[in-house]
Structure 1
């Protein structure tokens, strides 16, 4: 039941941002579009700093329920705002701001609640299933939202998103009624709790390494895929269909990678070293995708990249959750969310600059080599040789 609810939650989240982007594009100038989208993502990132501490103090299950309820209300309010003609950029900015605030608490709370559904020794394989469902839900939500906007209008699409969020809310409430309970709540001032969370994570080499590796992989690999494929297609005069092959390949590969973690738990008992090997395999796909020019070859390397990085990301997230005791789970999940939100813009900027001063191929290969060297250094370090033991 939690898997279905989590998938509905991720799909509805993608619904919101697809509809918001459409509405922002039709509300005024390019400047207002940028303001609306920036406010939504920035508010989420800022609140996430404290969101995990809020979840640990209030109880991660309770925080997930109340933040889901808030998101349902906000999605319905979004649908009402979209009935206006012309669309108000200020109203859209307010909705984006409020939804970002709710997300800042909800994301770490929902991820933390998932660790209570299964025994801790099964968290790695459970994370593989969770990643597979989330990737599928997110990928499916984008075209469905676009079709609904064209068919019934943006307001009806937002109401549909609210209904999907309602299903997620019902699933978590039902699990709560059946006995899903938060661990002991943590008392304290929010700032002190945030500081204690960082101190805990940074003071444990295995967990700190996993967090850093997860952040670097997610921060540096998205730009070569999104920007690199687009630039390669432009330079080789691809059609729109050929342009999409790279993304299809990566998506299929990432599903295969997450699926392997879900079903191959007995092969990945030593999580960090397996994660590093997956990263090295993904670097081969990244470098190959950067130097290839034919659409099908790019698709194949993108699939290889997606499979290895998808498996590595799912395994790293499972290991991060395994390494984290329940009383710190919300704050550590906040760190995961912040690392993605903070490093991906940096990755885009670095990749864009490097591709501009050299070439697309050089930028992609340089990124792959940098990741591979970092993974190899960690692989031979004492941290990687220590076997993981889940905290009590």
Structure 2
């Protein structure tokens, strides 16, 4: 389907859209598609984990759940090239269509046969491969459907969609499994992902200005990849911003995932106490997303992001020394608020500062940092806590995270970075 042409980004800097993003039907169609797809993802992983546990041993189930990370990490840079070459909207539509077809096919097979581990592992690998092109395209799409001055608001809306999907997806997946088993849950996941496709078809896209769009006929994929990396390396803000994101995520992921579980166990808070802490973090992150959705823009975005990272790192470090569940809930609320704010501002800066023709590749590099490198810290965090305890490990992780804030403050161009008005 031919995309409806909107004013180019260059024109848009002169004449901003008449309506804010949260009142723009074009953005709301994208938001509906994204939310439905994310809820479907959450239902899918509930169905996959349930089916894997019942088809093999716990270790085999863990392998099935983690196998998708390998192709995702290995292929994501190439996925950024694909998103920039063919357009993020087409890539997202194709990705959702493939994911929907794969999940519905497995749902149909489970109705007539047992859930063999090989089938579940194959499905996980397919999801990992598709995610490698889906995620960079999702990162590049907002800048092509609204004005640059609305991108912070769009990041807030995206954050609300993610939180809503997390809240709704797990209960829906559990209910589907309870009513009809894994096949029903997979069918529900496929249906939710399918809903995104017609909505995305109706989303209008801004065309890139003449000369900025990639021409695949005279360029190789390898050259496109090198050009994208060169674009990041030569940019006075993007290069340090990617480093800030890497440090922040490396210090954040371990304590707030495996570290929190071990902390709750050692404090005797139990699963319910840990659940309250996680809920508080999600509430704080949701509040930050709501703030950006309503305000649309915060002045001195680079400075605010740096201060939020520093404040969040202090809160992460202090979490290990809070003796009660109530205190941990309060600290987690602060962590979620500051982490959600800094994350959304960093994402908005990437959206507004990247050349639109390179945005898929820039999003791919940022995605590899967050989804490829940062999770490697989780087993390291677990091993370190087993040897030295929660206090030293949480403080060390907080220091790594805080280095990101220090770097953001030390790099003048990043510290002074602003979002468009």
Q: TM-score range by the shorter chain?
A: over 0.9
Whether the aligned pair in 2 keeps the contact of 1:113 and 1:182 (CA below 8 Å) is no
- Report if the CA contact (8 A) 1:228-1:290 is conserved: no
Deviation at 1:165, TM superposition (A): 0.9
Q: Is the 8 A contact 2:64 2:121 kept in 1?
A: yes
Change (3 A) 1:119 1:63: same
Aligned residues of 1:61 and 1:182 also touching (Cα < 8 A): no
Q: 1:349 aligns with which of 356, 376, 379?
A: 379
Counterpart for residue 162 of structure 1: 190
Please give the secondary structure, in 1, of the residue aligned with 2:111.
coil
CA-atom RMSD in angstroms? 1.9
Distance 1:251 1:15 in 2: 18
Q: TM-score, normalised by structure 2?
A: 0.87
The structure 2 residue matched to 1:372, chosen from 390, 402, 409, is 402
Match of 2:100 among 72, 87, 90: 72
| 1:48 equivalent among 76, 79, 103 | 76
Which of 87, 109, 114 matches 2:137?
A: 109
* Alignment equivalent of 2:221, drawn from 163, 175, 190: 190
Q: Of 90, 103, 109, which residue of structure 2 is paired with 1:81?
A: 109
Aligned to 1:202: 233
- 1:83-132 superposed Cα distances (whole Å, 9 cap, x missing partner): 35432111111111112211211121122122212101211121111112
- Per-residue CA deviation, residues 337-387 of structure 1 (Å, 9 max, x unaligned), is 211122222221332233223210221122113322441243133233443
How many residues in Structure 1 have an aligned counterpart in Structure 2? 386
Matched, 1:236 2:264: no
SS of 2:205's equivalent in the other structure is coil
- Corresponding residue SS for 1:292: coil
Compared CA separation, residues 126 and 365, structure 1 to 2 (3 A): same
Aligned to 1:249: 280
1:271 to 291, 301, 305: 301
Contact persistence 1:37–1:96 (CA under 8 A) = yes
Structure 2 CA distance for aligned equivalents of residues 100 and 307 of structure 1: 30
Runs of 4 or more off by more than 4 Å in structure 1?
Answer: none
Partner Cα separation in structure 1 for residue 232 and residue 286 of structure 2: 29
SS in structure 2 at match of 1:142: helix
Gaps of 5+ in 1: none
**What is the CA–CA distance in structure 1 between the aligned matches of 2:100 and 2:115, rounded to whole Å?**
21
CA distance in 1, matches of 2:38, 2:207: 21
Unmatched runs of 5 consecutive residues or more in structure 2: 1-28
Q: For residues 239 and 34 of structure 1, what CA distance do their matches in structure 2 show?
A: 22
Match in the other structure for 2:253 = 222
Q: CA 1:232–1:69 in 2, change beyond 3 Å: closer, same or farther?
A: same
**TM-score in terms of structure 1 length:** 0.93
1:182 Cα offset (Å)? 5.0
**Structure 2 counterpart SS, 1:83:** helix
Deviation at 1:324, TM superposition (A): 0.9
- CA distance in 2 between counterparts of 1:239 and 1:33 reads 24
After TM superposition, the structure 1 = structure 2 runs for residues 294-373 of structure 1, keeping only pairs within 5 Å, are 294-373=324-403
The whole-number CA distance in structure 2 between the counterparts of 1:118 and 1:295 is 42
Indicate if the aligned counterparts of 2:97 and 2:197 stay in contact, CA closer than 8 A.
yes
Structure 2 CA distance for aligned equivalents of residues 135 and 315 of structure 1 = 17
Q: Residues of 1 paired with 2:186 and 2:206: CA distance?
A: 31
What do the CA deviations read for 1:188-209 (whole angstroms, capped 9, x no partner)? 2212211211111111120112
1:180 aligns with 2:205: yes
1:142 aligns with 2:170: yes
Counterparts of 1:217 and 1:135 in 2: how far apart (Å)?
20
Q: CA deviation at 1:336?
A: 1.8
